[in-house]
Structure 1
Amino acid sequence: MEPKKIVITGGPGSGKTSVVQKLQEEGFTCIHEISRSITLEARSQGIPQLFLSDPLLFSKRILEGRIAQFKSVSKTDGPYVFFDRGIPDVIAYMDCAGQPYDNSFTDACKNYTYDQVFLLPPWEEIYTADNERYEDFREALLLYGFLKRTYEKYGYKILEVPIGTITERVTFIVNHLKNNNV
């Protein structure tokens, strides 16, 4: 049986990567965020921030990568595969930036669907900037709203993960999946 596809999403600095790493440590299959590798690849080619200099190209690369990730997990062992961000995140970021895009983006959201979406809220106490993250906390709050609306637009019932320790958040996610037969 194909594993259930579970998205962990939220604005920058909300703890997604830490939660996904903890899920992986607990033996779950996890698909990691690809935007950092695309950003670093562009930087090695002399483009300091590809999303800012060519947002459509950056978004197309992200979309292609996320579709490839989605397709790659069909034969994965275990009941769940966790994704650090999903395909609709691409549209949420583009909408937030006011960036127009073609139907390939919306078609991807309709054609590649997930079984559950967990949304991590903005959390200023843990937010930190780094070399690949250009958003400040105000922008993280704004992106959170776009993420929520975008997933809802594509028919997802989002479950917000309460603020807490990484272990508490992972326990919340796993318990919800088991208790609701996801």
Structure 2
Amino acid sequence: MQNDSDRFFVLTGGPGSGKTTLIQALGHAGFATSVEAGRGIIRDQSAIGGPALPWHDRALFAELMLSWEMRSCQIALEQTGRPVFFDRGVPDTLGYLRLSGLPIPEHAHAAAERFRYHRRVFVAPLWPEIFAQDKERRQTLDEAERTHHALVGVYTELGYEMVPLPLAPVEARLRFVLAETGLA
């Protein structure tokens, strides 16, 4: 996977900071993208009455997120030679566990070392003006800020360089990401 990491770009940050909107814009621009694990798992688990919800069983929710993110990397490998933009990555699971005060299992550390991304990771800073809660995003603004710091800490510890996204409309963020990745 080492050869592919240079074309795997991660967008991370706290909830409600505009990551998914930017991922959607990248998809509309013709780039391969991944789907955010958290919302997908919440939707799936809610639909079946499952227990792996962050407000019921945070550890089980984290396991499903880890599995989802690893599978997203496997799918991205099939996009031979094409850049892929990820709406979060494997290290986000470690950040979630840290934020939740749960131990980070050894297999989660191993996954973060095995499934690598481009060394420069885009981070969406806390943006109170666009933050909103909904039935899937129940976090408060304070928890969003703590999530941001936990994620930045984990990615930095794993050797990634954090590239803050500008607090700007999605079109400007899109131009920024494409310029920073050399894909403009």
User: 2:86 aligns to what SS in structure 1?
Assistant: strand
Give ranges in structure 2 of 5+ residues lacking alignment.
Answer: none
Is 2:143 aligned against 1:139?
Answer: yes
Residue identity in the other structure for 1:24: G
Say which of 90, 107, 112 aligns to 1:87.
90
- Counterpart CA distance in 2 for 1:46 and 1:177 is 41
Is 2:117 aligned against 1:114?
Answer: yes
Shift in Å, 1:6: 0.2
Q: Deviations over 1:85-135 (max 9, x none)?
A: 000001101101101231011111011100131000000000011110110
Shift in Å, 1:51: 1.2
| Residue matched to 1:42 | 45
| Residue matched to 2:33 | 30
Of 41-50 and 158-167, more deviation after overlay is shown by 41-50
Mapping 1:145-160, distance limit 5 Å: 145-160=149-164
- Counterpart CA distance in 2 for 1:78 and 1:127 is 35
Shift in Å, 1:162: 1.0
- Give the superposed CA RMSD: 1.7
Mapping 1:159-170, distance limit 5 Å: 159-170=163-174
- Counterpart CA distance in 1 for 2:80 and 2:158 is 27
Say which of 51, 54, 76 aligns to 1:51.
54
Say which of 75, 80, 88 aligns to 2:78.
75
When normalised by structure 1's length, the TM-score is: 0.92
When normalised by structure 2's length, the TM-score is: 0.91
User: 1:127 aligns to what SS in structure 2?
Assistant: coil
- Counterpart CA distance in 2 for 1:168 and 1:44 is 36
| Residue matched to 1:126 | 130
